[in-house]
Chains A and B, each alone.
Chain A
C-alpha cells in the first residue's frame, strides 16, 4: 500500500483534495485491496464522527447569532464599534480621507503653536503652576497595578489606556504587572476599566 496515498484518504472523504489527488486515491482503490480496507476503516472513523455529532444533539450547539451580536455590541466600546448595515451610508468616502488627514495635521500644528505661545505668556507673567494646586492635582491622579490578559496586543492595551485617559507609569515586571496612572479616576470609569475583557487583574497602588 502506498502510504502517501493512504494518508490522503481522510481528505478524500471530506472532499478537500485537489482533482489530481482524488484521482490518485481512486486509482489506488481500484487496484489495491489493502488500500480498500484502509478506505473502509477511515469511512468507519468518519461515521463515528458523524454519529457522535448527531448524538451531541442540537440544544445550544449552533448558538444564537442575534444574542451573540448583542453580546459583542456590549463589548464594542473599545475595539471595533459595531455598526448596523443601515449605518453604511454614513461612512466617509475614501477620497475624503486625504484632505481630512491634511486638515487634522494642520490643526495639530496650530494647537501646538498656541500651546507653546501660552507657555511663554505664562512664564512672562511669572506663572509656574497648573490651574489646580500641586496637592489637588496629585490627589486627582491615581495609580493602579494592572495585569492584562496574555493574549492582549500592545495596540489593544494602548487603545484601552487612551480611551480611559490613562498612562503607563511603570512595567511590566516579571509577572507582567504594570503601574497605570489614571488622570481622571472616576470610580465608575475605573470599575468599567476593571471589567474590560483584556484586564485580568487590577488593584489600587497605595
Chain B
C-alpha cells in the first residue's frame, strides 16, 4: 500500500496556499464530478449536490493549510464531502429520490432500457438502505477510487475497520439486492 510518504499532491496544495487560482481550478476540475456523484448517492437532489460540492471545494481552499500530505488530496476532499453530506442530512434538507436519475439512462432498445433502469433503481434503493458508515466506504472505494488506507484516513478509522465495514456492507447488499447484473 502506498502510505507514509508525502503525497505528490503536496505541491498543488502549496500552490493553493500561495493563493494561485489555477491550482484551485485544477483541483476542482479533477475531483468535482466524483464529489458530486458521492453527494448524489447521499443526498439525492442534483442541484443541492452541486451547491454542496462547491461548498466542499470552498472549504478545501479555506482550510488547505490543514492538509498534511500524509494521504492524498482526493481522500482529504472526500472526507470534507462526507462531513458536509452528514451535516446536510442532519439538518433534514429535502431528499429527492434517486429514481429520477434513471431518466438519463442511455437511449436504445426500450425494453432493455427499462430493465437497466429497474436495475439501477434497485441498486440505489439497496445502497440507501445501508448505514451511512457502510455506504460511505463503498462510495469512497467505487466512486472515489480510494484505497482502504485512504478511506481510513478520510473517515478517521483504522484500516481494519474499513475492511470490516466493506465486509458488512457487502453482506447487507446481498440481502437487499436480487442477484442480477447492473449496467
A88–B123 Cα distance when bound, in Å, is 49
Q: Chain B interface: which of A52-60, A98-106, A162-170, A187-195?
A: A52-60
Which residues of chain A have C-beta atoms less than 8 A from B21's C-beta? 69, 72-73, 82-85
- Does A14 reach chain B (CB closer than 8 Å)? yes
Nearest Cβ on chain A to B129's Cβ, whole angstroms = 13
Does the CB pair A72–B50 fall under 8 Å?
no
Nearest Cβ on chain B to A49's Cβ, whole angstroms = 4
Which residues of chain A have C-beta atoms less than 8 A from B63's C-beta? 153
Interface residues of A in 1-52 (CB under 8 A from B): 3-4, 6-8, 10-11, 13-18, 21, 41-42, 44-52
Residue total for B at the interface (Cβ-Cβ under 8 A): 67
Which residues of chain B have C-beta atoms less than 8 A from A206's C-beta? none
Does the CB pair B46–A47 fall under 8 Å?
no
Does the CB pair B46–A54 fall under 8 Å?
no
A79–B63 Cα distance when bound, in Å, is 9
Q: Which residue of A lies closest to B55 (CB)?
A: A197
Which residues of chain B have C-beta atoms less than 8 A from A79's C-beta? 61-62
Does the CB pair B61–A80 fall under 8 Å?
yes
Which residues of chain B have C-beta atoms less than 8 A from A51's C-beta? 116, 119-120, 123, 182-183
- Does B104 reach chain A (CB closer than 8 Å)? yes
Does the CB pair B58–A75 fall under 8 Å?
yes
In this complex, the interface size class of chain A, counting residues with CB under 8 Å from chain B, is 35 or more
Which residues of chain B have C-beta atoms less than 8 A from A59's C-beta? 46, 104
Does the CB pair B58–A60 fall under 8 Å?
no
A63–B145 Cα distance when bound, in Å, is 20
A3–B168 Cα distance when bound, in Å, is 12
Which residues of chain B have C-beta atoms less than 8 A from A47's C-beta? 181-183
Which residues of chain A have C-beta atoms less than 8 A from B57's C-beta? 68
Which residues of chain B have C-beta atoms less than 8 A from A91's C-beta? 18
Which residues of chain A have C-beta atoms less than 8 A from B61's C-beta? 72, 79-80
Nearest Cβ on chain A to B102's Cβ, whole angstroms = 5
Nearest Cβ on chain B to A72's Cβ, whole angstroms = 6
Which residues of chain A have C-beta atoms less than 8 A from B42's C-beta? none
Which residues of chain B have C-beta atoms less than 8 A from A118's C-beta? none
Which residues of chain A have C-beta atoms less than 8 A from B119's C-beta? 48, 51
Does the CB pair A55–B25 fall under 8 Å?
no
Which residues of chain A have C-beta atoms less than 8 A from B150's C-beta? 16
- Does A174 reach chain B (CB closer than 8 Å)? no
- Does A131 reach chain B (CB closer than 8 Å)? no
Which of A47, A53, A55 neighbours the largest number of chain B CB atoms within 10 Å of its CB? A55
A11–B36 Cα distance when bound, in Å, is 21
Q: Which residue of A lies closest to B80 (CB)?
A: A151
A83–B23 Cα distance when bound, in Å, is 10
Nearest Cβ on chain A to B168's Cβ, whole angstroms = 10
Does the CB pair B123–A52 fall under 8 Å?
yes
Contact of A56 among B37, B163, B166, B183 (CB under 8 A): B37
Q: List 16 A-B contacts (CB under 8 A).
A: A11-B141, A42-B170, A48-B119, A48-B123, A52-B98, A52-B182, A55-B101, A55-B104, A56-B40, A56-B104, A61-B33, A61-B37, A62-B29, A63-B50, A80-B18, A82-B24
